[in-house]
Structure 1
Amino acid sequence: MKFSYKFSNLLGTIYRNGNLVFTPDGNSVISPVGNRITVYDLKNNKSRTLSLESFYNYTNIALSPDGSLLIAVNEQGNAQLISMVSCTVIHRHKFQTGVQCITFSPDGKYFAVARENLVLIFCSPGELTGEYNPFVLKRSFLGGYDDITWLDWSTDSKLLAIGCRDSSTKICAVNHTRNFRTYNLSGHTDAIVSCFFELNSLHLSTVSRNGQLCLWECSVEPSDLIEVSQAKAEPLPPLAKRKAPNTQSDSESEDDIEGNLEKQKMAVKDETEDQNQVKDESAKKSHPFYYKKLGRHYLANEPRKEKRDAMLTAANYNRHTKVLVVAFSTGAFYLYELPDVNMIHSLSISDYPISAALFNSTGDWVALASREIGQLLVWEWQSEQYIMKQQGHSSEMTCIGYSPDGQYIATGGEDSKVKLWNTQSSFCFVTFSEHTSGVTGVQFSRNKKFLVSSSLDGTVRAFDIIRYRNFRTFTSPTPTQFACVAIDYSGELVVAGGQDVFEIFLWSIKTGKLLEVISGHEGPVTSVAFSPVATSSTLISGSWDKTVKIWNCLESNSEHETIDALADVTCVAFSPSGEEVAVATLVGNITIFDVKSATQVNTIEGRSDLGSGRLETDIVTAKKNAQSNYFSTIEYSADGECILAAGKSANICIYNVREAILLKKFEITQNHSLDGLNEFISRKHLSEFGNMALVEQREEGEGGKVAIRLPGVRKGDMSSRRFKPEVRVFSVRFSPTGQAFAAAGTEGLCIYALDKGVVFDPFDLTLEVTPKAVHEALKSEEFTKALVMSLKLNEPNLVTLVLERVPYRDIELLCADLSPDIAQRLLQHLARLLQSSPHIEFYLQWSCCLLNTHGNRDGVFQHTALLALHESISRKYEMLNKICDYNKYTIRVLLDRAEQLEAAKGAEAEQTTNEDSDSEMLLIKSTEDKGLECEFSEESDEDTEESDEEDKDDA
């Protein structure tokens, strides 16, 4: 039960090959990653990989309109019907050859499969069709004279557009109609890449590989198509009526299709022409069906003149927004608005061809994927922002390292890049590209503030995780290729071993100066490790000179102790206690030594546990190959009881240190698209000239590429040749919390985690401990008894129920009554609950009371439980920190806006008051002026009267 690890997630590999699919809500994109399927949740910024896998790489996937069914087909033609609700395989079907494309109809009743130049239409299982047998064949069509490249359904699911490599497009009806026959469209000069129906219309757009876009107008509306009823329909060939309830009958029907297709085609054609000539004459006169070409456009013609070898590789059309995206082999993509064909956006994302392009349901986001570099990005074209931009290592991932709390994983690859991955969201959030050659080792510091990496470019670099920058670069006096790196417990010293210069170099992190050059090995230094104990400065180094040396870095570089390993050392690892060291050698053994006495404690014989495999180009047998197997990477578990080991094989082994026995073995992949999984070569690959894999097979149209690798190449081929990558595991690491381990292999970074929700793992169980007794204790409010019994049963749901029934004020008293063993188990449950429960303050109170009560006792809490609690609290802090910051800044903006509004209102009120006062002053002034005018007028009247009297007197 302790080692019930199951596949949890796949990191480091984003996209391999095939098409992309958006979910119906448009918030998630589904990508085929080798022989697995990954779902990227763009809204919640998370990704998950389905636990199911195929025996070969997936090439085509299709999702039903309701999002409940997924059909995935691999390169050998094996199809899987997958339920997205339970994430399990419902049914399997075998096609005779590989499948070019597969798509569901808009109403969800049918799905069409293109195989070579043949189109097969199957009924979808479910309530819509009333058919629950999967892969029931309804009809079949002959496409063109060459392979089919694209399929598209009309909005009403009555017609199907078939694009072919022979530059023709064919329109076929799913059901028999009176006024329609199969219609062929021609006019392109290169292979058809895609073709699309308009929304609620039969108008069509076709795009070819040389960048030509043709717009076609249909003479009839979808409502004019009259389907023949089932009773009056023309008799179908026996082949099309046959239903296949199982895989065997399906394969037989497809064989019949291939054998009798030409005969049936001629017979059905003559019969249909005679019947249509008599029955549908009036319908043809009233609604003649034909297509008219509205125009031909050359997409991205000006940029492509500079690069004449640029070809259109992918295209997609959104019917609602009427926006077309086309992608080219130069890494550029363009957005056009139809039917005017106006370019509205253009962008170049890389120098490599874009393999897939897809709009989501709303048309706001466009997903683009490149097979050459394993890149997947989602672009919002209206705001010109990246919704997601992820890219894995373009070559093999050679080394990994866990952060001290298990929240981050650092990976280094032969593409000279160091990437940081979040284990919670499974996304890469920063990439360091300062190295100029392959990265050979990465390790985090204890305080999780920085990490160091060694490279074959002769540098050891220190990267700041908080500010995402390279703040130290360590070099040697003479150019040296570094094969390994390590940091001491305090984080002040960094050491690296040379591959071509057989010396060990010691630097200071703070000053960046070279402190010592430690000499003593006579071969390449393959692995170095510092003691994990805070009070020790012991350094262990392993070399190809068949020795392991123990150094004391703080005292003198000349003082060391040599241990003879009897074979070339490939890896060394310290136990968590710092008292033992494990050494993996080239003979396939793992030897345990005591550090203080330098004596051998135990030996693990593991060569036969790695398993045997034979490459396609191997001359020797798999049994002979097994004799050269060895472990290239080892790691102690968090408690020091077990060792995780892997090497040139698909198997990962867990050994018990004391008993020296194999506890469990994991097979990281079943992908036979990789080389080295089979023990025997199939007879169909053998000919009179020998193994066909050893014969160069030149392919037409591919520039004379050959199918075998260069001599001596193991990890990657930098030439233009094609070959199957070899299965192997480069590095394994246990999570510091002990709940998971990571393995970097050919497939990517596989995460295996404990799934305790399914496993019954009780502790100190007695007859009295039952779920019924727990519920009875809760009813009688005996919380301590109920909690102890639930922890002994070790059922998460029951423990959660008991914890949440305990009153908040009684938590401290209840923690004081628990024994150390029960307290240890309770802390593990609290660490798990803090990740998913919304009752954060409640469980934080539990954690504080438990740590305050039992934390001062030595040995009560294991290091793994404390790390798990720290990881959960760190994740919660990061998640709440963003919410709190958002709320804080939003409140600040609202308060500032309120102040501005109040200031504006005050200014308006003051202005109004000033205007009122001014009007009053003007009114008063005008009144006074009027009073003065009155006085002046009275005085003038009196003067006139006096003057009149004087005049009278004078008279």
Structure 2
Amino acid sequence: MLKRHQEARGFSPPAPSATPAPPALFSHLFQQPMNLTSSKNKEFEEHYSGMLAEYVTAIAWSPQGNTLAATSANGEVVLWQDGELTTLQAGNGQSVDCLAFSPDGKFLAVGGQDGRVKIWQEQELIATLENAPAWVDKLAWSHTSNQLAFSLGRYVQVWDADTREVVTTLNFADSSPLSIDWRIDGQYLAIGGNKGIKIWHAQDWDEEPYILNMPTVSVTMAWSPDGKFLASGNMDRSVTVLEWNNPDPWVMRGFPGKIRQLAWSEATTKLGAPILASSSVEGIVVWEKLEDENLGWEARVLTNHVGVINAIAFAPKSFLLASAATDGWLCLWNKAKEVSQILTGVADGFSTLAWHPQGKLIAAGGEKGELIIWAKILRGQGFGRS
């Protein structure tokens, strides 16, 4: 169980340390033999398959769900709409590593190896922000405005797409930012990296950030969809969960490797809390909050993959969890408990995945450049081609 770290309260949460949880707790579970679950009732069928020139680095659906954007290690930026691929940027040999749609779907931003942040409005390139020699590999739009935050060396810059001006430049200082995430209400911007997470108030960028100190590196970090929790997956094989307005985080240890991926559910349990999935090497741990605050969060381990998991995500408003790995499997976990279907179709492994905003499609990218979309099968109406 994930228990709250007990130390004196203060403005900055105390550095998580050895919460008693023996590494052996998970080690034998992560080494269980492969579960060859057959797909008795197919939920999804292949809807589209295409190719990019190289490893698919990132994919994202527009908020309206009518467009899927994808980028590659060769520098390609493409849009999928109604079965057709449109190229916004041809491959140039320099990797594009991150992309995101603005909350209104009007803007698409990408960043990559060449240090440029490019913003398209529909299919017109409207801005190119030159940041070389910095490598832009993290970016995120606010959920409530057209403000874009992106990594810039040891800084994060916030740029406004409406005014086309830089709003602020934030000094993370301790390392390059490894994750950037806005809270759902747009009030706070969290940045993770070496020594923990810093959280800035978007209404007053000059105010000193709230600091969640850690004696390790925050590798990946995410706000829960309701904005009540902030989770961090760490280099020292731990997961930290901070409940907003409570300075004592929960900490869990004993994973087989660093925490690579985190995903929160939009759906909530009877307690009104979302569930959290975390992946480390080929294993997944799902956390569910318990009623007893002292006990914290209960864990269950999901094992089926035999390769490193590159992406995990919950379907919208659901506990259906998807995981994509280097073993070439995209596993669908019913209620985040057991495999209900395994999707395949890549020559090597999967690199990334993204759910359609309504959950009726799921897209994934491959290590060899594959771009695949599966559609939910509509029962009683033949096969779904929505």
When the two structures are superposed, what TM-score results if normalisation uses the length of structure 1? 0.26
What does 1:320-359 align with in structure 2 at a 5 Å threshold? Answer: none
1:473 to 200, 211, 216: 211
1:487 maps onto 2:223 in alignment: yes
Structure 1 residues 638-660: Cα deviation after superposition (integer angstroms, max 9, x where no partner): 1111223335455544333559x
Task: Look up the match of 2:325.
Answer: 585
Equivalent residues of 1:551, 1:557 under 8 A apart: no
Task: Name the CA distance, whole Å, in 2 between partners of 1:646 and 1:423.
Answer: 28
Task: Name the CA distance, whole Å, in 1 between partners of 2:329 and 2:65.
Answer: 22
Task: Look up the match of 2:301.
Answer: 562
Change (3 A) 1:651 1:411: farther
2:355 to 636, 644, 647: 636
Q: Which amino acid aligns with 2:201?
A: D
Change (3 A) 1:464 1:575: same
Equivalent residues of 2:145, 2:186 under 8 A apart: no
What does 1:395-544 align with in structure 2 at a 5 Å threshold? Answer: 395-405=134-144, 407-412=146-151, 415-424=153-162, 428-455=166-193, 457-469=194-206, 470-476=208-214, 479-499=215-235, 501-511=236-246, 513-533=247-267, 535-544=272-281
Structure 1 residues 600-632: Cα deviation after superposition (integer angstroms, max 9, x where no partner): 122221423xxxxxxxxxxxxxxxxxx3x431x
Equivalent residues of 1:539, 1:552 under 8 A apart: yes
Equivalent residues of 1:483, 1:498 under 8 A apart: yes
Task: Name the CA distance, whole Å, in 2 between partners of 1:3 and 1:488.
Answer: 21
Structure 1, gaps ≥5 residues long: 11-33, 37-50, 58-371, 376-387, 609-626, 665-760, 762-955
How far off is 1:506 after superposition? 2.0
How far off is 1:450 after superposition? 0.8
Change (3 A) 1:649 1:572: same
Equivalent residues of 2:331, 2:341 under 8 A apart: yes
Task: Name the CA distance, whole Å, in 2 between partners of 1:6 and 1:581.
Answer: 20
Task: Name the CA distance, whole Å, in 1 between partners of 2:217 and 2:262.
Answer: 15
How far off is 1:390 after superposition? 4.8
How far off is 1:549 after superposition? 1.2
Equivalent residues of 1:486, 1:496 under 8 A apart: yes
Q: Which amino acid aligns with 2:239?
A: I
Equivalent residues of 1:528, 1:541 under 8 A apart: yes
How far off is 1:438 after superposition? 2.5
Q: Which amino acid aligns with 2:341?
A: N
What secondary structure, in the 3-state scheme, does the structure 1 residue paired with 2:266 have?
coil
How far off is 1:498 after superposition? 1.1
Task: Name the CA distance, whole Å, in 2 between partners of 1:425 and 1:502.
Answer: 42
Task: Look up the match of 1:550.
Answer: 286
Q: Which amino acid aligns with 1:506?
A: V
Task: Name the CA distance, whole Å, in 2 between partners of 1:562 and 1:532.
Answer: 20
What secondary structure, in the 3-state scheme, does the structure 1 residue paired with 2:138 have?
strand
Q: Which amino acid aligns with 1:464?
A: H
Equivalent residues of 2:350, 2:364 under 8 A apart: no
Percent identity (aligned): 14
Q: Which amino acid aligns with 2:232?
A: A
Structure with greater contact order relative to length (CA < 8 Å, sep ≥ 6): 2
When the two structures are superposed, what TM-score results if normalisation uses the length of structure 2? 0.59
Equivalent residues of 1:548, 1:565 under 8 A apart: no
Equivalent residues of 1:390, 1:428 under 8 A apart: no
How far off is 1:581 after superposition? 1.0
Give the count of matched residue pairs. 273
Task: Name the CA distance, whole Å, in 2 between partners of 1:445 and 1:506.
Answer: 15
Change (3 A) 1:433 1:391: farther
Task: Name the CA distance, whole Å, in 1 between partners of 2:76 and 2:224.
Answer: 40
What secondary structure, in the 3-state scheme, does the structure 2 residue paired with 1:452 have?
strand
Task: Name the CA distance, whole Å, in 2 between partners of 1:473 and 1:464.
Answer: 12
RMSD: 4.0
Task: Name the CA distance, whole Å, in 2 between partners of 1:658 and 1:421.
Answer: 41
Structure 2, gaps ≥5 residues long: 1-63, 78-86, 94-113, 118-126, 379-383
Q: Which amino acid aligns with 1:570?
A: N
Equivalent residues of 2:312, 2:323 under 8 A apart: yes
What does 1:607-622 align with in structure 2 at a 5 Å threshold? Answer: 607-608=346-347
How far off is 1:526 after superposition? 0.8
Task: Name the CA distance, whole Å, in 2 between partners of 1:658 and 1:431.
Answer: 46
What does 1:450-849 align with in structure 2 at a 5 Å threshold? Answer: 450-455=188-193, 457-469=194-206, 470-476=208-214, 479-499=215-235, 501-511=236-246, 513-533=247-267, 535-544=272-281, 546-555=282-291, 556-557=295-296, 559-567=298-306, 568-595=308-335, 598-608=337-347, 627=348, 629-631=349-351, 633-646=352-365, 648=367, 652-658=371-377
Task: Name the CA distance, whole Å, in 2 between partners of 1:403 and 1:3.
Answer: 18
How far off is 1:449 after superposition? 0.6
Q: If each structure's helix is expressed as a fraction of its own residues, which one has the higher value?
A: 1
Structure 1 residues 422-479: Cα deviation after superposition (integer angstroms, max 9, x where no partner): 4556654333222432322222212111121211x12211122221245211112xx2
Task: Look up the match of 2:41.
Answer: none
Equivalent residues of 1:587, 1:607 under 8 A apart: no
What secondary structure, in the 3-state scheme, does the structure 2 residue paired with 1:474 have?
strand
Task: Name the CA distance, whole Å, in 2 between partners of 1:485 and 1:394.
Answer: 25
Equivalent residues of 2:267, 2:319 under 8 A apart: no
Equivalent residues of 2:116, 2:136 under 8 A apart: no
Change (3 A) 1:551 1:651: same
Equivalent residues of 1:573, 1:634 under 8 A apart: yes
What secondary structure, in the 3-state scheme, does the structure 2 residue paired with 1:607 have?
coil
What secondary structure, in the 3-state scheme, does the structure 2 residue paired with 1:531 have?
strand
Change (3 A) 1:560 1:637: same
Q: Which amino acid aligns with 1:440?
A: L
Task: Name the CA distance, whole Å, in 2 between partners of 1:524 and 1:604.
Answer: 26
Q: If each structure's strand is expressed as a fraction of its own residues, which one has the higher value?
A: 2
Structure 1 residues 313-362: Cα deviation after superposition (integer angstroms, max 9, x where no partner): xxxxxxxxxxxxxxxxxxxxxxxxxxxxxxxxxxxxxxxxxxxxxxxxxx
How far off is 1:586 after superposition? 1.8
Task: Name the CA distance, whole Å, in 1 between partners of 2:300 and 2:183.
Answer: 27
Task: Name the CA distance, whole Å, in 2 between partners of 1:465 and 1:527.
Answer: 26
Task: Name the CA distance, whole Å, in 2 between partners of 1:652 and 1:406.
Answer: 30
Q: Which amino acid aligns with 1:416?
A: R
Structure 1 residues 334-393: Cα deviation after superposition (integer angstroms, max 9, x where no partner): xxxxxxxxxxxxxxxxxxxxxxxxxxxxxxxxxxxxxx9769xxxxxxxxxxxx995436
